[in-house]
Chain A
């Protein structure tokens, strides 16, 4: 538990950190970044909260078990999409060309076609969920373990 200034700033900043992380996840197919990087940014937001509020108070609302559900959902999305293209090959991008999920834009500059990745953005979301959940769980467990050691000393 840090001072009141730090806690207020952390609870304010966490919004921006999370939005930035989600932005990187969502735009993984067209800009630098992707599921892993965005997930790591989200997890760094959790790290901010742990530093500001102490691991025990975070652990009360962010349970490891719920994080592992998040991880499993992410992995299921990823492998499900990979099997979805099984009619042609494993990992075949079967959504590209359909109206909602976009088509391959022509080479050269374009006015900004955001949805062009087919299954790639959805896979990014899966990876993002997985990484955010996994790294947060690791951070939380490590933070909890260090506080236990301090108590013993």
Chain B
């Protein structure tokens, strides 16, 4: 039933995506007498709860829908034998609702509410398998980080509300004055979202949480952190938009992106716990997205630079989000499959599993080649976009990004060798391939990767590029709300 409802959601999202690609921004006002009545009679500002969906939002929604569908199918076998199944799926749907709410809402306070929903559901799911000793620690770290981040968001919303009496993103962007208080609010929002997406100075919670959560939940948490990435972009581009400070903000985002990328991968190289290794890679990949978007932010004031390489960098960064959600999800699921059969996450105690788990091995190879940016795969397409455009912005940044990519390949080769290659170990004689539903969950993501690898141009043109346009085009978002019927 959960799977059916998520498949239905996926279907709806794809229809909506097609409609948005053809017709542009959509507005839905909850509780109004007509869906596009954003500003009620006798009011001059929007007061209702408004969903505002543009290409960027629907792009994130597609990611959320696909990954949660794969996660739900995977969970059918993976969580079998756990107690409290109905609670598990309830929380899973709540997490999905939180992610969708975050990416589709047009209202800052709603964003905060859905952030809290996703955080609480995520923390509960992380600590769900109470039979393992370390899950409670991971859950606690997640909830502490999320609560601190959510409080900072709430404080920033308070600042906006005190100044403008508004909490709607479009309406706020319309009247934004760039006062000192607004800058403080920007800093608060940026730190909060960076914290949630495990950018480097604030990344310490990420390996602990991701490694102990059930594999299907880990990939949901990854997507939930990309919902925060979306919120960061929405704040920087739509809420603040073109202002003189954006060069500084852009450089801060670039610097954090570089640090995230490099520190993440260097920490990952010597990990022996397979899910910790992947969690550090997850941090490292986030750095690429921050780099691409940061370059876009830094040149937002210079139209000629924006057109020559800024937009390409942002396309790359945004394309990388969906690529990473797919292949990182696939890798986490294969790690979960290994754990499901061997009962350990320690790479030193695995070996020779390719003999027994053929599908898992194939999926792992697809994921690992893709994340390392090996040419035919989609990771290469988005990384190439980032390298080329960033090189024109600043060559050093592109070189560091390439070194990161090489280190990524190195560590995944190591993991592949120790887990799958070599002779069959005597203690894993009994190991079989994982159940069908887990293979199906992995196959959905692998099919996504292969599709994106075959048609990168199509995906960039239809999904990533409209999302970039939507981010840059602040005016359209504002007039969707303030134009009285978009």
Chain A residues 89-145 with CB under 8 Å of chain B are: 89-93
Closest to B33 in A: A88
15 additional A-B pairs beyond A88-B34, A89-B29, beta carbons within 8 Å, are A88-B32, A89-B28, A89-B30, A89-B31, A89-B32, A89-B33, A89-B34, A90-B28, A90-B31, A91-B30, A91-B31, A91-B49, A92-B31, A92-B32, A92-B33
Write the residues of chain B forming the contact surface with A, with a CB cutoff of 8 angstroms.
Answer: 28-35, 49
Q: Which B residues are in CB contact (< 8 Å) with A85? A: 31
* Bound CA–CA A89/B49 (angstroms): 12
List 8 A-B pairs, minimum CB-CB distance, nearest first. Answer: A91-B31, A91-B30, A89-B35, A88-B33, A90-B30, A89-B32, A92-B31, A89-B30
| Subset of 15 A-B contacts with CB under 8 Å | A85-B31, A88-B32, A88-B33, A89-B29, A89-B31, A89-B33, A89-B35, A90-B28, A90-B30, A91-B30, A91-B31, A92-B31, A92-B32, A92-B33, A93-B31
Q: From residue A105, how far is it (CB to closest CB) to chain B in Å?
A: 16
Cα distance A93–B40 when bound, in Å? 14
Q: How far apart sit A90 and B32, CA to CA, in the bound complex (Å)?
A: 8
CA distance A89 to B32 in the complex (A): 6
Interface members, chain A 16-75 (any B CB < 8 Å) = none
**Contact-size category for A:** under 10
In the complex formed, the residue of A with least CB distance to B86 is: A68
Bound complex: CA A91 to CA B29 (Å):
9
Kindly state the separation between the CA atoms of A37 and B376 in the bound complex, as whole angstroms.
Answer: 57
With both beta carbons as reference points, the residue of chain A lying nearest to B87 in the complex is identified as A68
A63, B33: Cα distance in complex, Å: 42
Q: Which residues of B contact A88 (CB under 8 A)?
A: 32-34
Binding site for B on A (CB under 8 A): 85, 88-93
Residue from B29, B31, B33, B49 whose CB has the most chain A CB atoms within 10 Å: B31
A82-B30 Cα distance, complex, nearest whole Å: 9
Q: Which residue of A lies closest to B30 (CB)?
A: A91
Across-interface contacts of B34 in A (CB, < 8 A): 88-89
Q: Nearest Cβ in chain A — how far from B246, in angstroms?
A: 36
Closest chain A residue to B32, Cβ basis:
A89
CA separation between A85 and B31, bound complex, in Å? Answer: 8
Alpha-carbon separation in the docked complex, A4 to B386 (Å): 74
Nearest chain B CB to A129 CB, angstrom units: 17
Q: In the complex, what residue of chain B is closest to A85 when comparing beta carbons?
A: B31
How distant is A114 from chain B, measured CB to nearest CB, in Å? 22
CB distance from B96 to the nearest CB of A (A): 16
Write out the residue numbers on chain A whose beta carbons fall within 8 Å of the beta carbon of B28. 89-90
Shortest C-beta distance, A26 to chain B (Å), equals 21
Bound CA span A149–B28, Å: 51
User: Please, how many angstroms separate the alpha-carbon atoms of A79 and B30 in the complex?
Assistant: 13
Question: Which residues of chain B are near A90, meaning CB under 8 Å?
Answer: 28, 30-31
Chain B residue, CB-CB nearest to A93: B31
Query: Could you tell me the distance between the alpha carbons of A90 and B31 in the complex, rounded to whole angstroms?
Result: 6
For residue B32, which residues in chain A have a CB less than 8 angstroms away from its CB? 88-89, 92
Chain A residue numbers with a CB within 8 Å of B49 are 91
Q: How far is the CB of B298 from chain A (nearest CB, A)?
A: 40
Distance in angstroms between the alpha carbons of A64 and B29 in the assembled complex? 37
Q: Which residues of the other chain, A, contact B35 by a CB distance below 8 angstroms?
A: 89
What is the distance, in angstroms, from B11's C-beta to the closest C-beta of chain A?
18
The closest CB in chain A to the CB of B49 belongs to: A91
B28, B33, B49 interface centre (most CB from chain A within 10 Å)? B33
Question: In the assembly, what is the distance between CA of A91 and CA of B31, in Å?
Answer: 4
CA distance A90 to B35 in the complex (A): 9
Residues of A close to B29: CB separation below 8 A: 89
B31 contact set on A, CB distance < 8 A: 85, 89-93
Which residue in chain B gives the minimum CB-CB distance to A90? B30
Cβ distance A36 to chain B, nearest Cβ, rounded Å = 13
Q: What is the minimal beta-carbon distance from B93 to any residue of chain A, in angstroms?
A: 12
> Measured between alpha carbons, how far is A85 from B33 in the docked complex, in Å?
9
Q: Considering the chains assembled together, what is the distance between the CA atoms of A92 and B34 in angstroms?
A: 9
Q: How far is the CA of A93 from the CA of B32 in the complex (A)?
A: 8
* A148 → B minimal CB distance (Å): 15
| A92–B48 CA distance with the chains assembled, in angstroms | 11
Question: For residue A93, which residues in chain B have a CB less than 8 angstroms away from its CB?
Answer: 31
**Nearest Cβ distance between residue B27 and chain A, in whole angstroms?**
11
Q: Smallest distance from the beta carbon of B91 to chain A beta carbons, Å? A: 14
A7 to B270, CA, bound (A): 62
Contacts of A91 in B (CB 8 A): 30-31, 49
| Assembly CA distance A85 to B48 (angstroms) | 16
Contact partners of B30 in chain A: CB under 8 A = 89-91
A40 to B30, CA, bound (A): 27
A92 to B28, CA, bound (A): 12
Closest Cβ of chain B: how far from A14's Cβ, in Å?
A: 30
